[in-house]
């Protein structure tokens, strides 16, 4: 549950309750490395792997007594129109910050925070916020604080900093990008247990302006050097996770399919077929060279942003290519032997029964070609997006549902309610295991118990073994059985170390 260097002065809290699919605290680890390069010691905690997150956070703080606590808020919500499944996570961030803000200087950041920074800073009562990829500026802030500066003086000149008296967020500018110096060991094991991946980014930002997407308003486009990307890939491979790498760019092939092709060829030259990885691609920007280069570099699967195969709806979404171009991109990936997942948003502005029929007809063709289709019914409406402006128009009131848990969020679905759109699409597409409607139902209680056991793997493997065994007996689930094997292996290693001759 904890990853640290000795005697930490800065505590980084990974605020993310979503345990499936698992996400490495990647941004927090980048900050940890950036702080270490400044000579500032840091520790990272993932409270939601514990049965009582607030108690775990309090216990960690009391043990370490850091001067500064940074909260890495990755997700504002589950991105689902199903309000019964999670909803907003803002209250969780508020509770975490409230636990410590009277005892240390508190800072909030991360992609979830950057979506609505002024409101979230006000609601949490944190001392300062940082938008976008702000690792270097946060490290500078921490250095100034540890040298005795006040919060306002320490924030002076920092382009990504947000103070409580701010009325508007800072203007986005490209920031210098850092990399992770290590990866969270428990998160590695958690990824193995539930089939997760380990992230590596090649850039931040996106050149498209899709109507629903927050990325253009929270990150400017900035690139990483190939040498830094290679270093992280080598580190992940050395840790035994070279077969579960995820290129964590919003769209790997934007703004330049050529750059994505060059990175893939660099990976192939450096690692051969050693790595196995996957990525997101924008289906309308796939060149002839890209899919073969991906396959030769060890890419096994691509998740394609298609959204709609109706040109009218694509234009309403802000897509810059026609449906035929996106279809050709899917076909090129399939022809290169890549496992190809097609992501669809049903219910966008301008959606009609005719446009749904048009999309479904083309999806039938892609399914016959070997693609899998993931359909999200309805769109989340985030502040500052073009979709938010559309949803605010009285003419669209019938398609908007406000989120009872967070007044700043809403969902949009046309031309019917989400359940009706799903039923309509279900009738249009043949029953198939390759057609999945999102969000996928899952047993959160099982994964919380699994996560609790995983949190003990490193420090108390005996306790982990007992918990995994009990869960395996109770449920018969393969994840629990695999966890028990991990725990037994770790327990034997601990015993061997304790009984080894000095």
User: pLDDT tens digits for 197-239?
Assistant: 999 999 999 999 999 999 999 999 999 999 999 999 999 999 8
- CATH hierarchy code of domain 2-162: 3.40.50.280
Q: Which of 153, 201, 151 is nearest to 23 (CA)?
A: 201
DSSP per-residue codes, 407-463: TT-EEE--SS-HHHHHHHHHHHSPP-TTEEEESPP--HHHHHHHHHHHTTTTT-HHH
Q: Do residues 371 and 390 touch, judged by C-beta distance below 8 A?
A: no
For residue 95, pLDDT beyond 60:
yes
Q: In which band, very low, low, confident or very high, does the pLDDT at 404 lie, cut at 50, 70 and 90?
A: confident
Alpha-carbon 438 to chain mean position: 16
Fold of domain 197-438:
TIM Barrel (3.20.20)
User: pLDDT tens digits for 393-403?
Assistant: 999 999 999 88
Q: What's the predicted TM-score (pTM) here? A: 0.90
Mean pLDDT of 289-318: 98
Q: How far is CA 452 from CA 55, 278, 448, 497, in A?
A: 13, 28, 6, 25
Q: Do residues 108 and 94 touch, judged by C-beta distance below 8 A?
A: no
The chain-wide mean pLDDT, for the chain, equals 92
pLDDT at position 405: 75
* Top mean-pLDDT range of 18-22, 88-92, 440-444: 88-92
CA dihedral sign of residues 276, 280, 286, 287:
negative
CA angle 319–89–387, rounded 5-degree value: 25
Q: How far is CA 115 from CA 93, 393, 402, 440, 502, in A?
A: 14, 21, 17, 25, 54
pLDDT at position 284: 98
Q: How many CB atoms lie within 10 A of CB 78?
A: 17
Mean pLDDT of 251-256: 96
User: pLDDT tens digits for 59-93?
Assistant: 999 999 999 999 999 999 988 776 555 578 999 99
Share of the chain above pLDDT 90, in %: 77
For the chain, the residue count is 502
User: pLDDT tens digits for 113-140?
Assistant: 999 999 999 999 999 999 999 999 999 9
Share of the chain above pLDDT 70, in %: 96
For residue 381, pLDDT beyond 90:
yes
Mean pLDDT of 439-456: 80
Q: In which band, very low, low, confident or very high, does the pLDDT at 108 lie, cut at 50, 70 and 90?
A: very high
pLDDT at position 273: 87
Picking from 368-382, 412-426, 437-451, which range would have the lowest pLDDT averaged per residue? 437-451
pLDDT at position 72: 97
pLDDT at position 4: 54
CA angle 211–214–216, rounded 5-degree value: 85
Q: Is 15 strand, coil or helix? A: strand
Q: How does DSSP classify residue 394?
A: G
Q: Do residues 333 and 340 touch, judged by C-beta distance below 8 A?
A: yes
> Nearest 5°: phi and psi at 150?
-80, 165
Ramachandran area for residue 436 (φ above 0: left; ψ -120 to 50: alpha; else beta): beta
Instruction: Show Cβ contacts of residue 155 under 8 Å, excluding neighbours closer than 6 positions.
Output: 128, 141, 161, 163
CA dihedral sign of residues 183, 195, 303, 265:
positive
Picking from 54-58, 253-257, 336-340, 408-412, which range would have the lowest pLDDT averaged per residue? 408-412
Q: Is 373 strand, coil or helix? A: strand
């Amino acid at each position: 549950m904890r990853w640290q260097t000795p005697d930490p002065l800065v505590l980084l809290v990974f605020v993310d309750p979503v345990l499936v699919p698992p996400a490495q605290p990647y941004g927090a680890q980048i900050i940890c490395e950036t702080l270490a390069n400044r000579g500032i010691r840091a520790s990272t905690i993932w409270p939601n792997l514990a049965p009582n997150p607030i108690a775990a956070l309090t216990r960690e703080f009391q043990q370490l007594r850091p001067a500064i606590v940074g909260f890495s808020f990755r997700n504002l919500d589950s991105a689902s129109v199903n309000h019964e499944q999670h909803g907003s996570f803002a209250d969780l961030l508020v509770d975490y910050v409230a636990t410590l803000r009277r005892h240390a200087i508190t800072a909030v950041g991360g992609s979830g925070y950057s979506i609505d920074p002024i409101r979230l800073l006000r609601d949490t009562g944190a001392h300062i916020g940082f938008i976008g990829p702000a690792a270097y500026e946060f490290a500078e802030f921490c250095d100034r604080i540890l040298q005795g500066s006040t919060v306002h003086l320490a924030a002076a000149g920092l382009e990504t900093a947000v103070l409580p008296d701010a009325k508007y967020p800072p203007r986005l500018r490209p920031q210098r990008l850092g990399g992770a110096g290590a990866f969270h060991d428990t998160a590695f094991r958690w990824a193995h247990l539930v089939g997760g991946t380990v992230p590596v980014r090649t850039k931040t930002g996106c050149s498209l302006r899709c109507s629903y997407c927050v990325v253009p308003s929270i990150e400017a486009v900035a690139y990483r050097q190939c040498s830094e990307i290679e270093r992280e890939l080598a580190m992940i491979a050395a840790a035994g996770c070279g077969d579960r790498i995820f290129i964590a760019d919003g769209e790997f092939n934007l703004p330049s399919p050529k750059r994505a092709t060059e990175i893939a060829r660099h990976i192939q030259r450096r690692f051969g077929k050693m790595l196995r990885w996957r990525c997101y691609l924008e289906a309308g920007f796939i060149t002839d060279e890209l899919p073969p280069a991906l396959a030769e570099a060890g890419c096994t699967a691509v998740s394609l942003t298609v959204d709609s195969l109706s040109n009218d709806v694509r234009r309403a979404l802000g897509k810059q290519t026609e449906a035929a171009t996106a279809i050709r991109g899917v076909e090129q990936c399939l022809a290169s032997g890549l496992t190809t997942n097609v992501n669809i948003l049903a219910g966008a502005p301008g959606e009609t029964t005719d446009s749904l029929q048009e999309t479904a007809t083309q999806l039938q063709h892609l399914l016959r070609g070997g693609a899998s289709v993931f359909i999200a019914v309805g769109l989340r409406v985030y502040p500052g997006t073009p979709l938010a402006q559309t949803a605010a128009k009285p003419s669209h009131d019938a398609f908007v549902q406000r989120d009872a848990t967070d007044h700043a969020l809403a969902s949009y679905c046309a031309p019917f309610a989400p359940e009706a759109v799903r039923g309509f699409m279900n009738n249009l597409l043949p029953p198939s295991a390759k057609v999945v409607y999102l969000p996928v139902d899952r047993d959160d209680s099982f994964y919380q118990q699994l996560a609790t056991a995983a949190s003990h793997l490193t420090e108390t493997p005996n306790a982990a073994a007992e918990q995994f065994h009990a869960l395996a007996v109770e449920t018969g689930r393969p994840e629990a059985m695999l966890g028990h094997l991990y725990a037994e292996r770790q327990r034997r290693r601990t015993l061997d170390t304790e009984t080894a001759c000095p």
